[in-house]
């Protein structure tokens, strides 16, 4: 039924295909926004955001924490998934139901109905923070997609190919957007250039990214 202005409400938010197996579900996290931000406060109270060090000795500009059975960590010895938070010595906080529900629903909409994440890496970008072009390849089974949720300030997402030198496409990721990533593009290179300064109404002066994985 068209509204007063003749507009038809979409049954589901718009989707864009980024590559074979990779989809952008615009606004798919908006119904979960409040629940996600409340749950995030609980997680960071137990396992705070921290700037990890790469095997090469560089401190990352993106601050990270995790929830779920395993968390992604890096230090001088390498990248890995760890069942305990090395900073607290305790298991990572349990994955909240609203995180799980969003990840499973989004994956199913993108064609991955069997996805059950056991890890969620949480990235916090403050203005100037960036993540250089990389592949996500520390997970055990690449049959699992990755579900990536953007909250807060907008960012540019660079999306390349299997080779580091493949041409890169750019997508604007906004508050509530969800990218789902798997199949033939599971190992494509991707990155986030320097976050521009700004203030988001509900999230403030930062961008939060939740990436759900089947790690173990």
- Interface with ligand MD6, residue 190, by CB under 6 A: yes
Pair 122, 152: CB distance under 8 Å: no
Identify the residue among 64, 70, 146, 215 touching ligand MD6 (CB under 6 A).
146
As a whole number of angstroms, the distance between CA 119 and CA 154 comes to 24
What is 42-62 written as a DSSP string? HHHHHS--B--B-TTSPBPSS
From 136, 160, 177, 210, residue interacting with ligand MD6 (rule: CB under 6 A): 136
Round to whole Å and give the CA distance between 80 and 173: 27
Among 65, 144, 185, 211, binds ligand MD6 (CB under 6 A): 211
Site string for Fe ion, 120-139 (x = CB under 5 A): ----------------x---
Rule CB under 6 A: is residue 144 a binding residue for ligand MD6?
no
Query: One symbol per residue from 84 to 113: x for binding ligand MD6 (CB under 6 A), - otherwise; what is it?
Result: ------------------------------
Q: From CA 173, how far away is CA 77, in angstroms rounded? A: 32
Residue among 123, 129, 160, 185 that touches ligand MD6 (CB under 6 A): 123
Say what the alpha-carbon torsion angle 181, 183, 185, 189 is, to the nearest 10 degrees: 70
Q: What is the smallest separation between the CB atom of 186 and ligand MD6, expressed in angstroms?
A: 9
* Selection from 121, 115, 161 nearest residue 141 by Cα: 115
Cβ closer to Fe ion: 44 or 138?
138
**Min dist. Cβ of residue 34 to ligand MD6 (A):** 21
| All residues at 6 or more sequence positions from 7 whose CB lies less than 8 Å from its CB, including other chains | none
192 binds ligand MD6 (CB under 6 A): yes
Using alpha carbons, select from 183, 184, 182, 125 the residue that is nearest to residue 157.
125
Minimum distance of ligand MD6 from residue 28's CB (angstroms): 14
Which is closer to ligand MD6, CB of 179 or CB of 206? 179
Residue 28 contact among Fe ion, ligand MD6, none, beta carbon within 5 to 8 Å by kind = none
Asked whether the CA dihedral 3, 8, 10, 16 is positive or negative, the reply is negative
Q: Helices in the chain by DSSP H: which ranges?
A: 33-46, 97-109
Catalog residues that contact Fe ion under the rule CB under 5 A: 136
Catalog residues that contact ligand MD6 under the rule CB under 6 A: 123, 131, 136, 146, 148, 157, 179, 181, 190, 192, 209, 211
């Amino acid at each position: 039924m068209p509204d007063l202005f003749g507009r038809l409400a979409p049954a589901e938010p718009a989707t864009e295909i980024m590559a074979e197996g990779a989809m952008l579900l615009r606004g798919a996290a908006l119904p979960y926004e409040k629940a996600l931000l409340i749950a995030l406060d609980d997680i960071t109270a137990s396992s705070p955001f921290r700037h990890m060090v790469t095997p090469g000795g560089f401190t990352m500009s993106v601050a990270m924490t995790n929830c779920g059975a395993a968390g992604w960590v890096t230090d001088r010895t390498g990248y890995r998934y760890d069942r305990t938070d090395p900073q607290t010595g305790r298991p990572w906080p349990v994955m909240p139901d609203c995180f799980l529900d969003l990840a499973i629903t989004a994956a199913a909409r993108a064609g991955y109905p069997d996805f059950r994440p056991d890890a969620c890496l949480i990235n916090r970008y403050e203005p100037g923070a960036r993540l250089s072009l990389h592949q996500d390849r520390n997970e055990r089974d690449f049959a699992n997609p990755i579900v990536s949720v953007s909250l807060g300030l907008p960012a540019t997402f660079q999306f390349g190919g299997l080779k580091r030198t493949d041409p890169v496409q750019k997508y604007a990721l906004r508050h509530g957007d969800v990218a789902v990533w798997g199949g033939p593009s599971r190992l494509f290179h991707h990155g986030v250039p320097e976050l521009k300064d700004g203030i988001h109404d509900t999230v403030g002066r930062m961008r939060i990214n939740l990436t759900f994985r089947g790690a173990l």
